Amino acid sequence: MINIKIILLIPLVALIVILLPRLKNKTFYRLMLVAISGIGILFVLFPSITDRLAHFVGVGRGADLVTYLFMIFFFLGGVILYSKIRKIEADQTELVRKISIQNAEKLNNK
């Protein structure tokens, strides 16, 4: 029978092994990846920590605390991705505008 801890640890370790080399010059993201994965591994190996932490902050169970934290991080991740997409769209619009102006100037010079 497979232990639930093994099932939960495999994706956390895979995150570190797969994503860490891809984040070459992004120290902040590398540190956050290692920190979040490390905390996840710690919570999986020692679930009583989440229960104690949950009681400390006024939540009934450790599983509830992890769920609440996940919802907050998921929301923040969505906001960050949305802002990055908006920036890419603005940059793309500016680039297309400059290319169009350059092409129009070339046509006028002929």
**Which amino acid belongs to residue 75?**
F
Q: Which two tokens stand for residue 10?
A: 């495999």
Rounded CA Rg of the chain: 23
Domain count within the chain: 1
Q: Is residue 26 part of a domain?
A: yes
Q: Is residue 105 part of a domain?
A: no
Residue numbers of the domain that contains 46? 4-81
pLDDT class of 110 with cuts at 50, 70, 90: confident
Handedness of CA 46, 48, 50, 56 (dihedral sign): negative
- Asked whether the predicted pLDDT for residue 20 surpasses 90, the reply is no
Average pLDDT over residues 40-65: 90
Cβ-contact 33, 16 below 8 angstroms: yes
- At 1 the pLDDT is 57
Instruction: Check residues 89 and 62 and name the one with the higher pLDDT.
Output: 89
Interacting residues of 71 by C-beta distance below 8 A, sequence separation 6+: none
Element holding 40 (H helix, E strand): helix 27-45
pLDDT class of 8 with cuts at 50, 70, 90: confident
